[in-house]
Amino acid sequence: AQTVTQSQPEMSVQEAETVTLSCTYDTSENNYYLFWYKQPPSRQMILVIRQEAYKQQNATENRFSVNFQKAAKSFSLKISDSQLGDTAMYFCAFMKSSSDRGSTLGRLYFGRGTQLTVWP
Amino acid sequence: DAGVIQSPRHEVTEMGQEVTLRCKPISGHNSLFWYRQTMMRGLELLIYFNNNVPIDDSGMPEDRFSAKMPNASFSTLKIQPSEPRDSAVYFCASSFTPNGQRYGYTFGSGTRLTVV
């Protein structure tokens, strides 16, 4: 079974500063995908960034970047120049990449989330 | 593209009543997922359809829960009879498999269910 662990239930950062959210996962798979989703107070789940495990280069999306350490099974999210609108719950998620047509194909496994508050 | 559409956005019902949640996935997506979110348990996968066929329903809590996908553009999640512990936010999400593996899901806005 795949498990995703987010060890920081809450974090806060001042506007314009940088913050890093941690995520670790446990899997025996070699090929997989990792995601960070954002859930603001509106409760809409929004995809922030994704990483393919076979790519060594860390993914970046504007102010959002990841530090993917495959051997350590670590996938942290860095938010630069934090903005008030970044206040949200952030979820780390894992998905297998397999040609196996078994029941777990396409299933996303989520961590428990980190509540990030950006203050002025 | 209107995204994944869920209805209703909020539902308040009395214990013992039947509740039906609805979802319209993104056109062209062939995988559909129902998740439940609570403070205690986080995000739990309830059931997963691929090409309208239920693939994994191991997350469905008990026989009171049932889900259907009669066609590619519509799915329902039904709870009968409802209980207070069913109170949660229920999300529907869709993707195009296998590309969904690369690009994740698109989620609906969720239905907040309150059973009193």
A34-44 burial, b at 16+ Cβ within 10 Å, e below that, comes to bbbbbbeeebb
pLDDT at residue number B102: 63
pLDDT at residue number B49: 92
pLDDT at residue number A17: 97
| Of B48, B58, B107, Cβ closest to residue A106 | B48
pLDDT at residue number A107: 80
The secondary structure of A73-114 as a DSSP string is: TEEEEEE-S--GGG-EEEEEEEEE--S--STTTT-EEE---E
Query: What mean pLDDT, rounded, does chain B reach?
Result: 92
Q: Which residues of A touch B (CB under 8 A)?
A: 33, 35, 37, 42-47, 50, 52, 91, 93, 95-97, 103-108, 110-113
Q: How many inter-chain contacts (A to B, CB under 8 Å) are there?
A: 66
**Non-local CB neighbours of B33 within 8 Å, separated by 6+ positions:** A107, A108, B45, B47, B48, B49, B92, B93, B94, B95, B105
pLDDT per residue of chain A (120 residues) written in tens, 0 to 9? 679 999 999 999 999 999 999 999 999 888 889 999 999 999 999 999 999 998 889 999 999 999 999 999 999 999 999 999 999 999 999 988 765 555 556 788 999 999 999 999
**Non-local CB neighbours of A109 within 8 Å, separated by 6+ positions:** A2, A3, A4, A25, A93, A94, A95
Q: Residue B62, exposed/middle/buried by CB under 10 A (0-12, 13-18, 19+)? A: exposed
pLDDT at residue number B58: 87
CA gap A58, B108 in Å, rounded: 28
Q: Say if the Cβ atoms of A43 and B110 lie within 8 Å.
A: yes
pLDDT tens per residue, range B22-78: 999 999 898 999 999 999 989 999 999 989 999 888 889 889 999 999 999 999 999
pLDDT at residue number A91: 97
Q: Residue B110, exposed/middle/buried by CB under 10 A (0-12, 13-18, 19+)? A: buried
Is residue B99's pLDDT more than 80?
Answer: no
Residue B105: list chain A partners with CB under 8 A: 45, 47, 108
Tell me the three-class secondary structure of A19-72, residue by residue.
EEECCEEECCCCCEEEEEEEECCCCCCEEEEEEECCCCCCCEECCEEEEEECCC
Name the residue type at position A21.
L
